[in-house]
A and B are shown apart, each in its own frame.
Chain A
Amino acid sequence: MADNLSQSFDKSAMTEEERRHIKKEIRKQIVVFALMIFLTLMSFMAVATDVVPRSFAIPFIFILAVIQFALQLFFFMHMKDKDHGWANAFMISGIFITVPTIAALMLLLGVNKI
């Protein structure tokens, strides 16, 4: 037990099953990554051109941001995965704290704006 750690393995210790799983995971991540770039492009387009009406532009990019945030959490922060309870608990409590804080901050700074 003590000694084999310092030697490198000649072949991967992963089983065939695990490798298939990893491959699937990589494919998913690339798809989501592409989707996120697309969402970013959409929000740029919404502001740069008049495709989206001016009055709706801010809510529109805000919605895109929320979608992107969710994708980020689920796919890149692994919230969708099993056996991820503790990390999920921390992310959820983070959201639970951040959302009211930012909402309150926006309202308060809005009140203070000259």
Chain B
Amino acid sequence: MATQKQEKSVIWDWLTTVDHKKIAIMYLIAGTLFFVKAGVMALFMRIQLMYPEMNFLSGQTFNEFITMHGTIMLFLAATPLLFAFMNYVIPLQIGARDVAFPFVNALGFWIFFFGGLLLSLSWFFGGGPDAGWTAYVPLSSRDYGGLGIDFYVLGLQVSGIGTLISAINFLVTIVNMRAPGMTMMRLPLFVWTSFISSTLILFAFTPLAAGLALLMLDRLFEAQYFIPSMGGNVVLWQHIFWIFGHPEVYILVLPAFGIISEVIPAFSRKRLFGYTAMVFATMIIAFLGFMVWAHHMFTVGMGPVANSIFAVATMTIAVPTGIKIFNWLFTMWGGKITFNTAMLFASSFVPTFVLGGVTGVMLAMAPVDYLYHDTYFVVAHFHYIIVGGIVLSLFAGLFYWYPKMFGHMLNETLGKLFFWVFYIGFHLTFFVQHLLGLMGMPRRVYTYLGDQGLDAFNFISTIGTFFMSAGVILLVINVIYSAFKGERVTVADPWDARTLEWATPTPVPEYNFAQTPQVRSLDPLFYEKIHGDGTMKPAEPVTDIHMPNGSILPFIMSIGLFFAGFGLIMLNMDNPIINPWIVAIGGLALTFGCMFVRSIKEDHGYHIPAEQVKADLAELKKGGN
């Protein structure tokens, strides 16, 4: 067996990599691209709504943008960006050399990526999906929905597979790969929340896959699950969608909570207040998150009993969430706080998320929801949760982990400017939307009449969007500027932080830890700083390190799934160039062929010899790391 990896070209290296750190960076790049794409769509929509009766976008284009904005932001931007941090940080924080199944990890990324590509291809085939990100059924049925919906159904189906297998991989990693002494109740909160969020993915993406499959059967093969005239039931789609859709919010927001729970203690110089309560609050939120889906459907006509039950269950979520909010406040209380960019984002997350939560409780009251339903109040509410919660915490995590991921700091001055521009823009955009909603402006409309009291607030809202866009441009400038001029980081621990990822050298070697660390407490690195000599004690001697080989198979397998999906979409095209079945079955054959090759070809990986690990360690000691 080869003990030395061959030198490869850079592109081949990234296409075949199974290293969790490189996959994390690929998730980060792909997620950012989709984030910018969906952001530009939002910007265009806000420009269309800047003045009454604008003609910037047509109604059809607006519908396509609004659908793609929601779909991309949730499935192809927020999820992969969180996966980027999870991929990079989880193995480091639990003291592992990699995730449990590196091959599956690469597969998850590539399937997600090609699923997103499939969804985006809709623009070249007569326009994007236009039935809203929820794709409610009469609109998305084969009678009313165009080809775009097929791209929605198959694109999400494919990328959903990627998300699902990545989540399973995280679950196994956290259960099996923890370093000695890293008990479940010593896991950093980010790992805990990612663990629970992955559980939610496991249980929530399966109903989504089932629902999408039913819709696909309806659209492509003339089944009748959702067609009332044939005995189907349109409300069934809403139920299935929200059984997935409500947990989806928590899938995104729980890891965001985790990032906040890492950043706030690090920059308050205190341990997280109420660790155990935080863990159990997360579990309770996750469980309740599943049991409240019908609050999206109060106006469907479920009757007062069902509405009341779901209203009360929904409001119950405020209790564990409140526990978390107060624990963050108590963590900061009496702490020695450093307000750098990461901490600015993390601390400002707390009040904005509370605002989103408060309007959430308002919307949870079934009778009042009849007033708010389908108005901009709802839009304002969930953007306070998603932008004011998830996006702010993503930025906090980016500034916090950037030195570990890329070996240099992001510029603080530009970062703080970015924070203020973005934060002010965010409130300008979405706070006034509460008022618009209370005035009765419906959501999902592409224009409105003037002189109804809506003009000023819509104008302000659009101006806010410009601020947010300027903020993101500042971030891009910051990333480029810091890449050339940014302060280089060679020390392991630039923040004087608490958790294990800061015990690895920067840049992180491919094997993460030369010797698996012995964990003696919660916040293990900080414990060693107080009670030891500031370095982790090794739990094993320096030995050969077994590493997995890279493989191109995940990439090819995902291309296969991409063509399988595309072939099925071609069934609904008017004049497909070749027989759709050839494309679909060819794609599936490619995927299964790769699975076959993977099954029969023995691949034992390679070893990094102990001498080399020792040489690396000596090198580090010389550098004073």
Contacts and interface: CB of A to CB of B under 8 A. Distances in A.
Interface of A: 1-3, 5-6, 86, 90, 93-94, 96-98, 100-101, 104-105, 107-109, 111-113
A98 B175 CA distance: 23
A108 B302 contact: yes
Contact of B202 (A86, A90, A100, A111): A90
Interface string B107-138: 00000000000000000000000000000000
Nearest to B1: A6
Contact of B607 (A2, A90, A98, A108): A2
Contacts of B171: 90
A97 B203 contact: yes
A2 B2 CA distance: 10
Given A90-B199, A97-B203, A97-B287, A5 B239 contact: no
B175 A94 contact: no
9 contacts: A2-B3, A5-B1, A86-B175, A97-B203, A97-B287, A97-B290, A100-B291, A101-B291, A109-B239
Contact of A108 (B239, B287, B602): B239
B105 to A, nearest CB: 19
Query: Which 3 residue pairs are nearest across A and B when measured between Cβ atoms?
Result: A5-B604, A6-B1, A2-B607
Contacts of A1: 544
B178 to A, nearest CB: 12
Contacts of B203: 93-94, 97-98
Contacts of B233: 109, 112-113
Interface in B1-42: 1, 3
A4 to B, nearest CB: 10
Contacts of A104: 291, 294
A111 B306 contact: yes
A6 B602 contact: yes
Nearest to B605: A5
A81 to B, nearest CB: 16
B214 to A, nearest CB: 14
B243 A111 contact: no
Contacts of B604: 5-6
A24 B236 CA distance: 45
B235 interface: yes
A112 B287 contact: no
B303 A105 contact: no
B301 interface: yes
Contacts of A109: 233, 235-236, 239
B302 A111 contact: yes
Interface in B195-232: 199, 202-203
Nearest to A105: B239
Given A101-B291, A109-B239, 20 more contacts: A1-B544, A3-B1, A5-B604, A90-B171, A94-B202, A97-B290, A100-B291, A101-B243, A101-B290, A104-B291, A104-B294, A105-B243, A108-B294, A109-B233, A109-B235, A109-B236, A111-B306, A112-B233, A112-B235, A113-B233
Interface string B578-603: 00000000000000000000000010
Interface range for B: 20 to 34
A90 to B, nearest CB: 7
Contacts of B291: 97, 100-101, 104
Contacts of A107: 306
Interface string B277-321: 000000000010011001000001111001000000000000000
A94 B175 CA distance: 17
A6 B1 CA distance: 7
A2 B1 contact: yes
A51 B39 CA distance: 63
Nearest to A3: B1
B602 to A, nearest CB: 7
A104 B602 CA distance: 48
Q: Which of A3, A97, A105: most chain B CB closer than 10 A?
A: A97
Contacts of B301: 112
A90 B206 CA distance: 14
Contacts of B306: 107-108, 111
A104 B306 CA distance: 9
Contacts of A97: 203, 287, 290-291
Nearest to B310: A104
Nearest to B247: A97
Nearest to A6: B1
Nearest to B235: A112
A108 B239 CA distance: 9
A105 B239 CA distance: 7
A33 B546 CA distance: 40
Nearest to A5: B604
A2 B287 contact: no
Contacts of A96: 287
Contacts of A6: 1, 602, 604
A13 B546 CA distance: 21
Contacts of A108: 239, 294, 302, 306
A98 B303 CA distance: 23
A101 B210 CA distance: 15
B239 A111 contact: no
B199 A93 contact: yes
Interface string B599-625: 000101001000000000000000000
Nearest to A101: B243
A6 B203 CA distance: 38
A2 B290 CA distance: 47
A101 B206 CA distance: 13
B544 A2 contact: yes
Contacts of B239: 105, 108-109
A1 B607 CA distance: 10
B301 to A, nearest CB: 7
A38 to B, nearest CB: 28
Contacts of A98: 203
Contacts of B1: 2-3, 5-6
A86 B291 CA distance: 23
A112 B306 CA distance: 11
A98 B546 CA distance: 40
B227 to A, nearest CB: 14
Contacts of B202: 90, 94
Interface in B164-188: 171, 175
B311 to A, nearest CB: 14
A112 B302 contact: yes
B302 to A, nearest CB: 6
Contacts of B199: 90, 93
